[in-house]
Amino acid sequence: MSKIRVMLAEDHTIMREGTREFIQREPDMEVVAEAADGEAAVNLAAQFKPDVIVMDIRMPKLNGIEATTQIKQRFPRVAILILTAYDTDQYIFALLEAGAAGYLLKGVRAQELIDAIRAVYAGESVLHPVIASRVIRRAMSPTPETKPAPPLSDREMEILRLAARGISNKDIAEKIFLSPRTVQVHLGNVFSKLGVASRTEAVLFGLKRGWLHLEDLP
């Protein structure tokens, strides 16, 4: 079985070494590169093409927002998981808009981070509970329409609603009698139609447009 190729972008050496140590213990993961600043993160992403990047926000040369933006523009399939001590709205929404698939606060247990890496690798989104509540509040605030909403098929809407509940691709597939691969394809079509790069962005889009409601969320 191929391993999940993980890259770490963190300027604090002790934090980076500790994270690498427990990721390397997982039989389905390997750390393929480490960056101590945002500029190195962009360059190493191009060189090693990791599946998942665990990214801090405050780093020398380029911060996590700028690095995430550049990486997602060049390599949209790379899943970026933010792991940081900062939970200000300015950072949260800038990173989600840049295409980050998850946002965790430092202090989470090692197993939570491991589970989050597997989740974003599978195309799912992961938000710390504190972050999730802010995202939902922001999404439910009225905002002016900026572009017409592209139509989703009935199947795509069904999958988007299930994804909004935090259900994994595998469980969605079992629930509606499809293969996990087919669910991934449908989600990819949803992302393409909405012009987004992650489940989180797709759910936010659905909330803002009124396609999804609070009862659709976990």
Q: What is the pLDDT of residue 210?
A: 76
The mean pLDDT values, 10 residues at a time, for the chain of 218 residues are 91 92 94 95 95 94 93 90 86 84 88 92 79 66 60 90 85 91 89 79 78 69
The b-or-e profile of 174-196 (16+ CB within 10 A means b, else e) is: eeeebebebbbebbeebbebbeb
Q: Which pLDDT score is estimated for 88?
A: 81
- Report the candidate in 208, 199, 209 with the shortest Cα–Cα distance to residue 167: 199
Same domain, 152 and 203: yes
DSSP 3-state assignment of 104? strand
The CB-side HSE value for 195 (13 A sphere, CA atoms) comes to 6
Total residues found in the chain within this entry: 218
- CA torsion sign, 71 to 201 to 113 to 30? negative
Q: H or E stretch including 29?
A: strand 29-35
User: Domain check: are 149 and 165 in the same one?
Assistant: yes
Domain extent, residue 84, equals 4-137
Q: In what order do the strands lie in the sheet with 79-84?
A: 29-35, 4-9, 52-55, 79-84, 102-105, 126-127
Asked if residue 37 and residue 122 are part of one domain, the reply reads yes
75: domain CATH number is 3.40.50.2300
Measured CA to CA, the distance from residue 69 to residue 88 in angstroms comes to: 18
Kindly report the CATH number assigned to the domain that includes residue 152.
1.10.10.10
Residue identified by tokens 């927002």 is: 65
One domain for residues 78 and 170: no
Q: How many structural domains comprise the chain?
A: 2
In a shared domain, residues 27 and 113 = yes
Q: How far apart are CA 133 and CA 208, in angstroms?
A: 15
Q: Is residue 59 left, alpha or beta, with left meaning phi > 0 and alpha meaning psi from -120 to 50? A: beta
